[in-house]
């Protein structure tokens, strides 16, 4: 049989199209059917490069007898968490009321209104120690619904109400320099001094946390914490977490960074590219850029979401077998598939990282690739009204709405692209998107319609939270001279979550990096020249600054005309051919210099 998933956009859903389970995609039709039949929803959430999602699909969802139980007692809904992150976040938060072992596949049982009364992750086909069989879970949930329905509904309403209350936050003051340094040292106290990185097994790259520890304020006020970040990167670079082609795997299952979980995500690699740049590690940055361009880049210029952990070897599915082969032997093998979904915010991360890396490492092709990805997302990832959507596949836009993080991450990527290219049009478009994010982005309409609160969690995990993404983009816009209201927006975003961030710094790295940026006056360098290949521009790119812009006089005037006051008065006709460098602190600029030796590399 073929169910309703065959014509969906998601590769993850399409992979389940031939299951005997009568799957629905996420949408009002599934809710209506559950209400018509008066049965629970079974909501299964995963993504295409998730190994255990593949395992559960083979063991249970492809099994006719298990599928018959699901079809008889439930309305089954399959959700791609990468296409619907708000749905995933809402149900992951609800699942935390029932299990501490959170992850994917996420299996959630809800009332016909979508309110959770039981949840778990992977369940095997036969019972194991501490793990019931999936069929036994299905039977127990059905019994609870049919025999103790009132109790199940009461539990579901209690979870929903508790999550709605948890979403509220109480603003506090901005953390000062001392509080930010203390937060960094608290993170450093968790360093694995034997193997590098933080925590035991499994061990993750935590790029959001590393980015905070690399901030100028932490380098100055808590150098030991900054050194822990450098050691973490060095440990990852020298471990099995880094593939021979330069790309990084999702995480290591062992404390010593060995035995990777072999999927490779755009999110991790785009952020680690920025981490490598901040560490001055050119070879690692070049390796990551090559992986992005050679493996994840799709036709049209956008970047796919991830590369799978599994592939076919000798007629069998193998997890990691392809990656364990020497590079010279891989040409004879079919590589693991790439999930070609072009996700808006994730591409924003890649655009910003590649643009900056291209400028710093003098790789104009990377900047061109960043611009092509930006063009693709802006042209394809939109609905009929021109509003951004979450993703696209093969040039077809998804119906899933863009999240706040999507809009903000793309906005910041475009601001970075403007700096790398000297083209103010990218900055103008980035500012427009940032304004939209600040005005508020609607959550998933089906969650809203059923009164299901979005996840209260605003922590920074493998990605910046929506709050951190907006605050970071606003800080960047302010540094470019877009106006004081953007600094206030960044500050408001930090204030809203400052208490949690200072109390749990490891989980708020991106937000704390913004807090550090607000606590320090920015250094901004603008080089106005017709010859960007000369030594003055190179000296600027090698300097420690928050903003480095290399522009022609005409480009400087274009930025100024567009309302970016950092560039005002810097594109005059008197600019010598060799150029002038303006070294500014909080928009107060020293007298311009034309000698690279007079442009300090230090802050």
How far apart, in whole angstroms, are the C-alpha atoms of residue 495 and residue 491? 6
What proportion of the chain, given as a percentage, has pLDDT over 90?
Answer: 86
Structure-token pair, residue 434: 């940032």
Question: Is a pLDDT exceeding 90 seen at residue 452?
Answer: no
Least confident of 1-5, 241-245, 255-259, 473-477: 1-5
| Predicted confidence band of residue 99 (pLDDT cuts 50, 70, 90) | confident
Which of 540, 546, 545, 523 minimizes the C-alpha distance to 578?
A: 540
pLDDT digits (tens, 9 = 90+) for 328-360: 899 899 999 999 999 999 999 999 999 999 999
pLDDT digits (tens, 9 = 90+) for 480-535: 999 999 999 999 999 999 999 999 999 999 999 999 999 999 999 999 999 888 89
How far apart, in whole angstroms, are the C-alpha atoms of residue 480 and residue 500? 29
Instruction: Say how many C-beta atoms besides its own lie within 10 A of residue 591's C-beta.
Output: 8
Altogether, the residues listed in the chain come to a count of 603
- Write the CB contacts of 429 (distance below 8 Å, at least 6 apart in sequence): 378, 414
Q: Are 95 and 120 in contact (CB under 8 A)?
A: yes
CA atoms within 13 A on the CB side of 518: 30
CB environment 390-410: b (16+ within 10 A), e (fewer): bbbbeeebbebbbbbbbbbbb
Beta-sheet pairing, 396-397 with 523-528: unpaired
pLDDT digits (tens, 9 = 90+) for 31-84: 999 999 999 999 999 998 888 999 999 999 999 999 999 999 999 999 999 999
Q: Report pLDDT for 167.
A: 65
């Amino acid at each position: 049989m073929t169910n309703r998933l065959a014509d969906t956009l998601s590769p993850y859903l399409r992979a389940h199209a031939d299951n005997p389970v009568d799957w629905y995609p996420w949408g009002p039709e599934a809710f209506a059917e559950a209400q018509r039949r008066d049965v629970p929803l079974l909501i299964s959430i995963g993504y295409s490069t998730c190994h255990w999602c593949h395992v559960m699909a083979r063991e249970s969802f492809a099994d006719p007898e298990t599928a018959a139980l699901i079809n008889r007692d439930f309305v089954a809904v399959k959700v791609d968490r990468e296409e619907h992150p708000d749905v995933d976040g809402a149900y992951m938060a609800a699942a935390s009321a029932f299990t501490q072992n959170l992850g994917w596949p996420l299996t959630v049982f809800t009332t016909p209104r979508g309110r959770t009364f039981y949840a778990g992750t992977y369940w095997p086909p036969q019972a194991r120690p501490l793990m019931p069989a999936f069929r036994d879970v299905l039977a127990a949930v059905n019994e609870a619904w049919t025999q103790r329905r009132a109790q199940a509904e009461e539990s579901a309403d209690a979870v929903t109400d508790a999550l709605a209350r948890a979403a509220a936050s109480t603003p506090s003051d901005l953390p000062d320099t001392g509080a930010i340094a203390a937060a960094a040292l608290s993170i450093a106290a968790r360093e694995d001094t034997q193997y590098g990185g933080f925590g035991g097994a499994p061990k993750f790259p935590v790029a959001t946390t590393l980015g905070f520890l690399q901030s100028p304020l932490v380098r100055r006020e808590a150098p030991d914490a900054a050194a822990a970040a450098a050691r973490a990167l060095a440990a990852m670079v020298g471990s099995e977490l880094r593939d021979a082609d330069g790309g990084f795997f999702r995480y290591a299952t062992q404390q010593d960074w060995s035995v990777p979980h072999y999927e490779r995500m755009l999110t991790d690699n785009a952020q680690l590219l920025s981490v490598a740049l901040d560490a001055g590690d050119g070879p690692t940055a070049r390796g990551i850029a090559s992986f992005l361009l050679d493996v994840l880049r799709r036709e049209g210029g956008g970047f796919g979401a991830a590369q799978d952990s599994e592939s076919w070897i000798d007629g069998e599915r193998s997890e990691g077998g392809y990656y364990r082969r020497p590079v010279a032997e891989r040409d004879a093998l079919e590589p693991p598939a790439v999930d070609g979904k072009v996700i808006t915010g994730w591409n924003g991360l890649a655009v910003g990282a590649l643009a900056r890396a291209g400028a710093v490492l003098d790789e104009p092709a990377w900047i061109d690739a960043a611009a092509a990805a930006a063009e693709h997302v802006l042209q394809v990832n939109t609905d009929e009204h021109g509003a951004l959507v979450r993703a696209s596949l093969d040039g077809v836009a998804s119906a899933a709405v863009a999240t706040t993080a999507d809009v903000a991450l793309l906005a910041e990527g475009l601001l970075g692209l403007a700096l790398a290219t000297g083209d103010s049009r990218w900055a103008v478009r980035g500012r427009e998107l940032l304004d939209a994010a600040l005005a508020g982005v609607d959550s998933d309409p089906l969650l809203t319609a059923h009164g299901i609160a979005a996840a209260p969690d605003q922590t920074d995990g493998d990605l910046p939270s929506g709050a951190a993404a907006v605050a970071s983009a606003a800080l960047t816009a302010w540094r470019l001279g877009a106006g004081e209201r953007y600094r206030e927006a960044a500050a408001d975003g930090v204030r809203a979550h400052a208490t949690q961030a200072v109390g749990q710094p490891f989980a708020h790295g991106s937000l704390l990096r913004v807090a550090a940026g607000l606590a320090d006056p920015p250094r901004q360098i603008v080089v106005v020249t017709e010859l960007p290949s000369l030594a003055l521009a190179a000296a600027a790119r090698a300097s420690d600054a928050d903003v480095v812009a290399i522009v022609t006089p005409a480009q400087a005037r274009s930025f100024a005309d567009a309302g970016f006051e950092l560039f005002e008065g810097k594109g005059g006709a008197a600019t010598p051919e060799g150029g002038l460098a303006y070294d500014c602190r909080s928009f107060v600029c020293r007298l311009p210099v034309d000698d690279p030796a007079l442009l300090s590399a230090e802050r």
